[in-house]
């Protein structure tokens, strides 16, 4: 620490903030929301927690906003966030965030159906068999559990969300945000 501080302050003529500076393992250092783990630049744990909280705030289960409007808001935020962290080397982290957003949107769609028979009808309309739709809709599972069910994934696939305009790291955005 002493040697590098002398170099930075002496040679580079920069001031080192000793309260913020430290010498540590790379996995312990968080810089601008990123960490280095096993030589890979990743989004830090704290930044991932923050992004999950933001996703939760942008996707309430009950809202007056249409799904299209909600997807536009999510895209605006997510594209900016993703561009900030574009240099990270763990695409799985982005996929985790996108999967969480899709699950929350599925929960929103399910919660919008006030009665189980309406949910069954909605699932049938999305192409599920009548038996499968009813078995899922009338199950004792709550909204959050239903949002990750096989029926919800078959009714509202990742491709369906892409068709609705939801940005994914693997797809190209429909509009310019």
9 within a domain of the structure (yes/no): yes
Residues 13 and 63 in one domain: no
Query: Do 13 and 56 have their domain in common?
Result: no
Q: How many domains are contained in the chain?
A: 2
Do 16 and 101 fall within a single domain? no
Asked if 128 and 70 sit in the same domain, the reply is: yes
Same domain (yes/no): 5, 89: no
Residues 6+ apart with CB under 8 A from 156: 102, 105, 106, 109, 126
* Residue 106 domain flag: yes
Residue 168 lies in a domain: no
| pTM for this model (two decimals) | 0.80
Q: Are residues 116 and 68 in the same domain?
A: yes
Residue 59 belongs to some domain of the structure: yes
Quote the mean pLDDT of the chain. 88
Query: Taking 70 as the threshold, does the pLDDT of residue 175 lie above it?
Result: no
Which residues have a Cβ under 8 Å from the Cβ of 42 and sit 6 or more positions away? Answer: 34, 35, 36, 88, 89, 90, 93
Tokens for 101?
């957003």
Residue 23 sits in which domain range? 1-30
Residue 174, pLDDT score:
47
Residue 13 shares a structural domain with residue 51: no
Average pLDDT over residues 46-67: 90
Is residue 33 over pLDDT 70?
yes
């Amino acid at each position: 620490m002493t040697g590098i501080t002398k170099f930075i302050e002496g040679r580079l003529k920069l001031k080192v903030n000793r309260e913020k500076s430290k010498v540590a393992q790379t996995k312990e250092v968080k810089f601008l929301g990123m960490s280095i783990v096993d030589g890979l630049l990743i989004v830090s744990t704290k930044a991932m927690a923050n992004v999950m909280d933001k996703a939760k705030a942008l996707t309430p289960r009950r809202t007056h906003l249409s799904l299209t409007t909600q997807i536009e808001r999510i895209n605006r935020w997510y594209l900016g966030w993703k561009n900030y962290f574009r240099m990270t080397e763990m695409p799985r982290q982005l996929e985790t965030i996108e999967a969480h957003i899709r699950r929350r949107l599925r929960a929103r769609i399910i919660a919008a159906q006030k009665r189980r028979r309406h949910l069954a009808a909605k699932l049938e309309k999305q192409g599920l068999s009548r038996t499968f739709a009813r078995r899922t809709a009338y199950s004792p599972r709550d909204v959050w559990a239903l949002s990750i069910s096989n029926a919800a994934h078959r009714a509202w696939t990742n491709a369906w969300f892409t068709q609705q305009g939801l940005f994914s790291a693997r797809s190209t955005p429909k509009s310019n945000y």
